[in-house]
């Protein structure tokens, strides 16, 4: 069993996927199938030789697999305090979105900074704030807590592209903390032990399967749902190459619904291999 190995190729023999090759040149033979949980682009434009898939299908992968142009900006905090929200008067166990003032439209608040450049003075972040150590004390030593701020953010900035996040990430993270602090004033600099950011650019760098930082692994739209996701040709989890399946969040239902795509792919693979489904159907 291999883990942490970078796959570079799906080995195809006579239109059948028979294994994978890693960046170290190791070839791993598939006993039955190859299941890909990375992006459609990686699978069909990088891993598979162009001659192994129909030209028309390759063209569709290049032109019709859609990704949204916005992603997530996160701030991770180690703290010595649990936030105390002025509005609640007590330690809140809720996960608020901060900065949504009366009269703001919720969707507009959540999408703040997407239509406009987040660097503009007029754009204030309104992150979602989570203190997961309230629910899971194992995440922190006694007396400490964790914090996670998440803000929808453009993947590429109008000026500087996605690379601009590298120089402005820390600055924008501070703006998110400041926004939180307005509602939880005890989250002072002294209360914060340390913090770091994970920008949309970081997502794409760490997870090449999340093209443009797309954590849904494909835009969710009416044209890209159910058996049309991510392309009609792939909607049944099978691919133009026999024995090669798509099993990650490129597939129905989509990212954010943990285990859903893999479970669905498993049903199809089991049917094709004539395996008794010993697990309870959901
Ligand atoms: C910042 C952030 C916050 C999120 N928050 C939530 C949340 O609160 N709730 C929620 O439900 N979902 C959330 N998501 C979405 C969730 O993480 C994804 O929907 C889910 O991880 C997708 O699962 P997957 O198995 O399809 O892909 P992944 O979990 O990304 O797994 C694919 C794996 O393939 C690996 N890989 C890529 N290329 C190669 C290669 N060439 N060779 C070998 N391995 C490779 C990647 O390193 C990765 O480990 C969040 C995502 C991000 C980025």
pLDDT tens, 98-139?
655 555 555 555 555 566 688 887 788 999 999 999 999 999
Quick one: 200 and 241 in the same domain?
no
Q: Residue 150 falls within a domain, yes or no?
A: yes
To the nearest 10°, the Cα dihedral for 147, 153, 155, 161? -110
51 is a domain residue:
yes
As a whole number of angstroms, the longest Cα–Cα distance in the chain is 68
Q: What is the pLDDT of residue 110?
A: 56
Does residue 56 sit within a domain?
Answer: yes
Give, using CA atoms, the residue closest to atom 6 of ligand 1: 256
Please work out whether the CB of residue 37 comes within 6 Å of at least one atom of ligand 1: yes
- Residue of the CA atom closest to atom 9 of ligand 1: 256
CA 96 – ligand 1 centroid, Å: 24
For a substitution probing ligand 1, which of 76, 209, 258, 259 has the most ligand atoms within 8 Å of its CB?
209
For ligand 1, the distance from its centroid to the CA atom of residue 120, given in whole angstroms, is 30
Single out the residue in 176, 206, 236 at which a domain terminates.
Answer: 206
Ligand 1 pocket residue status of 209, Cβ below 6 Å? yes
Q: 149, 174, 206 — which closes off a domain?
A: 206
Q: Tell me which residue range forms the domain holding 117.
A: 70-206
Q: Is 258 in the pocket of ligand 1 (CB under 6 A)?
A: yes
Low-confidence ranges of the chain (pLDDT < 70): 89-116, 282
Whether residues 39 and 134 fall in one domain: no
Residues 190 and 86 both lie in one domain: yes
What pLDDT score does 161 carry? 95
With respect to residue 263, please indicate whether it lies within any of the assigned structural domains: yes
* pLDDT at residue 120 in the model: 83
Q: In the listed set 186, 206, 226, which residue is the last one of a domain according to the structure?
A: 206
CA-based nearest residue to 180, from 87, 276, 278, 66: 87
Domain count along the chain = 2
Whole-Å CA distances, 277 to 167, 269, 272: 51, 10, 12
194 and 253 part of one domain: no
In this structure, are 36 and 122 located in the same domain?
no
């Amino acid at each position: 069993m291999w883990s942490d190995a970078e796959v570079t190729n799906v080995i195809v023999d006579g239109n059948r996927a028979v294994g994978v090759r890693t960046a170290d040149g190791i070839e791993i033979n598939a006993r039955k199938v190859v299941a890909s949980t990375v992006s459609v682009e990686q699978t069909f434009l990088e891993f598979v030789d162009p001659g192994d898939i129909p030209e028309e299908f390759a063209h569709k992968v290049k032109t019709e697999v859609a990704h949204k142009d916005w992603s997530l900006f996160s701030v991770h905090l180690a703290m010595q305090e649990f936030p105390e929200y002025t509005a609640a008067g007590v330690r809140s166990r809720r996960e608020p979105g901060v900065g949504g003032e009366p009269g703001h439209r919720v969707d507009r608040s959540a999408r703040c900074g997407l239509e406009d450049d987040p660097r503009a003075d007029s754009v204030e972040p309104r992150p979602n704030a989570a203190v997961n150590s309230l629910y899971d004390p194992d995440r922190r030593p006694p007396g400490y807590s964790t914090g996670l701020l998440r803000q929808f953010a453009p993947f590429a900035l109008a000026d500087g592209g996605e690379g601009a996040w590298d120089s402005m990430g820390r600055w924008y993270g501070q703006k998110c903390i400041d926004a939180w602090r307005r509602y939880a004033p005890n989250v002072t600099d002294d209360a914060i032990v340390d913090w770091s950011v994970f920008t949309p650019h970081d997502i794409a760098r760490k997870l090449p399967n999340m093209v443009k930082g797309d954590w849904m692994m494909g835009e969710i739209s009416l044209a890209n749902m159910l058996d049309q996701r991510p392309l009609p040709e792939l909607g049944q989890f099978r691919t133009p190459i026999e024995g090669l399946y798509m099993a990650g969040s490129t597939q129905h239902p989509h990212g954010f619904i943990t285990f859903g795509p893999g479970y669905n792919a498993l049903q199809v693979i089991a049917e094709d291999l004539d395996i008794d489904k010993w697990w309870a159907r959901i």
